[in-house]
Amino acid sequence: MVKTLNNPTSITILMLDTTDRTVPNFNGREAIILAGGLGTRLRDAVPDLPKCMAPVAGRPFLFYVVNYLRSQGVQRFIFSLGYKHEVITAYLKEHFASLSYDYVVETTPLGTGGAIALALTKATQPNVLVTNGDTLFKVNADTLYQQHTQTNAACTLALKPMQDFNRYGVVELNNNNQIVAFKEKQQYDKGLINGGCYLLNVAQFTGQSWPEKFSFETEFLEKQFNGGSLYGNIQDGYFIDIGIPEDFNKAQTDLAKPVVNLSEMDNSWTIFLDRDGVFNHDKVGSYVFTPDEFRLYDGALEAIKTISQKFGLVLVATNQRGVGKGLMTVEDLHDVHAKMKEEIEAGGGRIDQFYYAIEISNFDPMRKPNPGMAFAAKKDFPQIDMTKAIMVGNNPSDMQMGRNAGLYTVYLTTTNPPYVLPHAEVDWQFETLAQFAAALK
């Protein structure tokens, strides 16, 4: 399907991929990622690629932007595309096949304002997060949303405190966090910069008349702050804009995962374990319906005991679509887990929490390879450091879930062929859980 709006020579919404990527019962957070940049200043380092697709630590930069937003509760994405849009859509289709997303494409540049207005034609929520595909700003979305809704702001800007800079202008706030001034770029000793991350009230923005092509920053932000409806929310999380070679090179180090040894892990680490094919025998093509069908692998009890002594948190993350299909109930699943927990504890091990995804849809954010179970665990156990966490599984979806959540990964070849190492998805590979546990000692 191709749908055109306004002047058909300049705006086209492309929906050539008709896959239904609907999140079941969606009423969550939604984000627009502006990913149409040419990347002219990076052309020497990254020829012939959209800026957001610049390779950083072995992945397109867009990978980090998408997955950080997922960690903040964003479940649906709208990509605003332009230059070499086919590179991005191909990447999304291959590497984010279970992500719920839509996209729009500019055939001629519309400016940031025009790009946002076009993307908003695909929005489903009253407030939408907007960010740049070439900037990673690790905002706390909960505090951003809380302030935004309490103030009924037309737009809330995430502002980053910086020192000794001349690359950005500064934003000034009053005591109520309303924006009172935008200052031009010059040398500043310190100040708050616009981090390029906005929470936008869709009705307040689209209720105004906008030209086809315009700058969001100049025509909306800088001309409308006097009305008192624009607010700033100070966020001091990690920030990098890869728009210049210096910061592009810095990102290579910042976003790379450090090399670690299994023997160095301690109780400050968290382990996520898949279930069937890891602890217990997998029923190929079916499900473990009852406690009587649950059979631990030989050596699994001793392995779990070792793992429990090593890691601060031991968590299970398992896809259980049989519930969603109506083949078993949640109560049946709980009975299986109660049997599993009883046997493991009798063997000297422990499971601190079970996480399971029961929806049929691949686009459910909890279902692996989506990282929702890891992020749910982070909410339940705030002490979890995703940079000191590991996912152990026997399926490619386990490895992808681990990477999407920022975890280290261990692949067990109990039910599937081994990977050819080195591999982008896998840090370590073993035949069984018992072999992995032995390597921890």
Q: Which residues are catalytic?
A: 274, 276
Say if residues 100 and 76 touch (Cβ distance below 8 Å): yes
Q: What string of DSSP letters covers 88-115?
A: HHHHHHHH-TT--EEEEEESS--HHHHH
Q: Is the bond preceding 161 in cis, omega lying within 30 degrees of 0?
A: no
Helix (H) or strand (E) holding 155: strand 155-165
The region, left, alpha or beta by phi > 0 then psi within -120 to 50, assigned to residue 39 is left
* Residue 104 CA, distance from chain mean position: 20
In angstroms, the CA 435 to CA 429 distance is: 9
Judge contact between 118 and 209, C-beta under 8 A: no
Who contacts 253 (Cβ-Cβ below 8 Å, separation ≥6)? 57
- Nearest CA to 177 out of 129, 120, 235 is that of 235
DSSP assignment string, 23-82: PTT--SEEEEEEE----GGGTTTSTTS-GGG-EETTEEHHHHHHHHHHHTTEEEEEEEE-
Distance CA 414, CA 433 (A): 9
